[in-house]
């Protein structure tokens, strides 16, 4: 990891925070928690390589290649290192608990219920008996808790579909995983 | 026992590659079979769910093919799309077409439990890249298992559903047991901790989980003949149904080998 004193660290986080999630553009890749970390190392040719770990939300997320490309392009544009390598990593599993408080609020404001916190076992596998998706989800439009799960699978791998009985509005939830 | 205790050999690397290939092919082929329901599932919600589950499985296959490619120095796409049908190593359970909805649910239920048992073990693998990927996959698979458990019980709630599930299950037990077919040099993998337990132990745990559910729902469990049937060729036997599917999923890749976009 970059030492706290390295001024490049803040520049990189700020640049990454400007990259939207390709599928839910209201939230940045930093707020989504998919940036596992980054480090500067000698590239073996007298220069420096910036390596970024990208944590897929779902293993099969089809947006991950676009994220990888956008993160690489944005960081190369900063010219902080001679090379930029963005690699997919499962060393730390992405969980929905990695979404920041700001990210959760932005999800809600754009009509997505944020995932319920995973109370058990994270980052190890939660107990299969304690499915967090079964908990009550608050409607992002009217704030009612009178909602029902319509489908645990939605238009993308990371989304579930709910219905609000109060404002009669279907809405999506970012899945707790 | 861990990797540090027993150094890798040519044989242990080959065994690890075979393990990864079998799991990747299982996920890849079941993902393609079930994706055929997109647009024609029994209800709109199920169109979405089956498509999403299939996309998860093909995504898992991709990640596993990439692990394998790193190990063997091959190309993941070439492994996925460049082999002849007889070189695929999925369990015989995945040789069958999607058939009717009850068949799809019966097959998938047997597979999801097996996959859960397998992933729980692999998350303890001494081969860190596999353990990490398995831990991540388990978080997604619990949604699949819950969904399939719901469907199995829903179909088993009336006579028509029960009959259709029973008809499917009777012919599937030996092919499902093939998921745990022993692999060459498996003892080496177990010794090195790459496979934390022998396939026979995983098979026993799978049976402990699926058999009571079948009894509870009045569905046929495995017969003594099913349990004693030879499964040494369980990952090499291929069918014309699979050859047809292979033609479908390699069609684009075969139209322009090595193309990129």
User: Could you tell me how many residues make up chain A?
Assistant: 177
Q: Is the pLDDT of residue B147 over 70?
A: yes
- Put simply, the answer to whether B49 touches A150 (Cβ < 8 Å) is no
**b/e B38-73 (16+ beta carbons within 10 angstroms → b):** eeebeeeebbbbbbbbbbbbbbbbbbbbbbbbebee
Q: Which of B128, B125, B146, B141 is nearest to B26 (CA)?
A: B141
Q: List the single residue in A with minimal CA-CA distance to B62.
A: A60
Q: Is residue B71 part of a domain?
A: yes
Q: List the single residue in B with minimal CA-CA distance to A93.
A: B136
The whole-number pLDDT of residue B7 equals 78
Q: Does A149 touch chain B (CB under 8 A)?
A: no
Span B61-120, pLDDT tens digits: 999 999 999 999 999 999 999 999 999 999 999 999 999 999 999 999 999 999 999 999
More confident residue, A12 or A1: A12
Q: Does A95 touch chain B (CB under 8 A)?
A: yes
Q: Is the pLDDT of residue A34 over 90?
A: yes
| CA-angle at A58, arms to A62 and B48, nearest 5° | 70
User: What does the alpha-carbon distance between residue A63 and residue B18 come to, in Å, rounded to a whole number?
Assistant: 30
Average pLDDT, chain B: 95
The pair of structure tokens assigned to B175 is: 């092919």
The whole-number pLDDT of residue A129 equals 40
The whole-number pLDDT of residue B109 equals 98
Span A68-81, pLDDT tens digits: 999 999 999 999 99
The whole-number pLDDT of residue A74 equals 97
The whole-number pLDDT of residue A143 equals 95
DSSP result, A116-139:
PP--SSTTSPPPTT--GGGS----
Q: Give the nearest partner residue to B140 out of A131, A161, A177, using CB atoms.
A: A177
Q: List the single residue in B with minimal CA-CA distance to A56.
A: B136
Enumerate residues 6+ apart whose C-beta is below 8 A from B32: B54, B58, B245, B248, B249
B65: CATH: 1.20.1260.10
Structure confidence at residue A128 as a pLDDT band (50, 70, 90): very low
Q: Does B53 touch chain A (CB under 8 A)?
A: yes
Structural domain count, chain B: 1
Residue B115, phi-psi category: left (phi > 0), alpha (psi -120 to 50), beta (remainder): alpha
Q: B158 exposed, middle or buried (CB, 10 Å; 0-12, 13-18, 19+)?
A: exposed
Query: Mean pLDDT, to the nearest integer, of A26-31?
Result: 97
The whole-number pLDDT of residue A126 equals 44
Q: Is the pLDDT of residue A105 over 80?
A: yes
Q: Give the nearest partner residue to A60 out of B48, B60, B147, using CB atoms.
A: B60
User: What does the alpha-carbon distance between residue A8 and residue A78 come to, in Å, rounded to a whole number?
Assistant: 10
Contact A99, A114 (CB under 8 A): yes
Q: Give the nearest partner residue to B142 out of A95, A128, A161, using CB atoms.
A: A128
Q: Is the pLDDT of residue A124 over 90?
A: no
Structure confidence at residue A127 as a pLDDT band (50, 70, 90): very low
Q: Is the pLDDT of residue B30 over 90?
A: yes
Question: How far B143 CA sits from the closest chain A CA (Å)?
Answer: 8
The whole-number pLDDT of residue A119 equals 59
Q: Is residue B1 part of a domain?
A: no
User: What does the alpha-carbon distance between residue B35 and residue B74 come to, in Å, rounded to a whole number?
Assistant: 27
- What is this model's ipTM? 0.87
Q: List the single residue in A with minimal CA-CA distance to B58.
A: A60
Query: Mean pLDDT, to the nearest integer, of A8-26?
Result: 95
Q: Does A15 touch chain B (CB under 8 A)?
A: no
The whole-number pLDDT of residue B74 equals 95
- Put simply, the answer to whether A60 touches B135 (Cβ < 8 Å) is no
Q: Is residue B260 part of a domain?
A: no
Q: Give the nearest partner residue to A150 out of B45, B143, B146, using CB atoms.
A: B45
Contact A162, A149 (CB under 8 A): yes
More confident residue, A6 or B30: B30
Instruction: Tell me what percent of the residues of chain B surpass a pLDDT of 70.
Output: 98
Q: Hey, of B43, B45, B52, which one would you mutate to test binding to chain A, going by the most A CBs within 10 A of its CB?
A: B52
The pair of structure tokens assigned to B127 is: 């081969």
Q: Does B63 touch chain A (CB under 8 A)?
A: yes
Q: Does B124 touch chain A (CB under 8 A)?
A: no
The whole-number pLDDT of residue B91 equals 98
Q: Is residue B3 part of a domain?
A: no
Q: Is residue B20 part of a domain?
A: yes
Domain span holding position B248: 10-255
Q: Does A58 touch chain B (CB under 8 A)?
A: yes
The residues with which A113 forms a beta bridge, in sequence order, are A173
User: What does the alpha-carbon distance between residue B191 and residue B178 come to, in Å, rounded to a whole number?
Assistant: 22
Query: Mean pLDDT, to the nearest integer, of B229-234?
Result: 91
What residues of chain B lie within 8 A of the CB of A58, using their CB?
A: 56, 59, 140
Q: Is residue B261 part of a domain?
A: no
More confident residue, A158 or A118: A158
Interface of B with A in 150-189 (CB under 8 A): none
**Domains in chain A: ranges and CATH:** 8-88 (3.30.300.130), 111-174 (no CATH)
The whole-number pLDDT of residue A1 equals 52
């Amino acid at each position: 990891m970059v030492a706290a004193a390295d001024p490049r660290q803040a520049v990189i986080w700020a640049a990454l925070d400007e990259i939207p999630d390709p599928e839910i553009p209201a939230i940045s890749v930093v707020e989504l928690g998919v940036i596992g970390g980054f480090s500067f190392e000698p590239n073996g040719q007298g220069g420096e390589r910036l390596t970024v770990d990208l944590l897929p939300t779902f293993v099969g997320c089809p947006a991950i290649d676009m994220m990888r490309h956008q993160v690489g392009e944005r960081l190369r544009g900063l010219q902080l290192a001679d090379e930029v390598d963005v690699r997919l990593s499962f060393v730390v599993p992405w969980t929905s608990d990695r979404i920041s408080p700001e990210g959760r609020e932005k999800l809600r404001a754009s009509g997505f219920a944020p995932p319920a916190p995973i109370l058990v076992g994270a980052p190890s596998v939660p107990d299969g008996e304690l499915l967090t998706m079964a908990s009550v989800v608050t409607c992002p439009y009217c704030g009612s808790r009178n909602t029902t799960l319509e489908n645990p699978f939605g238009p993308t791998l990371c989304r579930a579909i709910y219905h609000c009985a109060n404002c009669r509005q279907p809405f999506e939830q970012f899945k707790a995983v | 026992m861990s990797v540090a205790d027993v150094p890798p050999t040519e044989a242990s690397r080959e065994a690890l590659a075979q393990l990864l290939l079998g799991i990747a092919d299982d996920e890849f082929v079941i993902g393609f079979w079930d994706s055929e329901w997109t647009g024609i599932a029994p209800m709109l919600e199920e169109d979405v769910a089956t498509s999403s589950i299939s996309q998860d499985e093909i995504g898992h296959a991709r990640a596993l093919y990439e692990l394998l490619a790193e190990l063997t120095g091959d190309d993941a796409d070439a492994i996925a799309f460049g082999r002849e049908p007889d070189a695929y190593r999925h369990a015989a359970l995945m040789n069958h077409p999607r058939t009717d909805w009850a068949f799809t649910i019966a097959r998938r239920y047997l597979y999801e439990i097996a996959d859960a048992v397998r992933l729980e073990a692999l998350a303890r693998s001494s081969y860190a890249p596999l353990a990490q990927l398995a831990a991540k996959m388990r978080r997604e698979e619990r949604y699949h298992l819950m969904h399939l458990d719901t469907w199995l019980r829903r179909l088993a709630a009336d006579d028509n559903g029960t009959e259709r599930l029973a008809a499917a299950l009777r012919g599937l037990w030996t092919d499902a047991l093939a998921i745990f077919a022993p692999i060459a040099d498996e003892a080496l993998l177990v010794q090195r901790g790459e496979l934390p337990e022998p396939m026979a132990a995983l098979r026993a745990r799978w049976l402990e989980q699926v058999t009571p559910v079948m009894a509870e729902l009045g569905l046929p469990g495995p017969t003594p003949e099913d349990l004693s049937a030879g499964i040494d060729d369980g990952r090499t036997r291929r069918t014309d149904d699979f050859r047809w599917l292979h033609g479908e999923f390699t069609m684009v890749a075969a139209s322009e080998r090595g193309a990129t976009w």
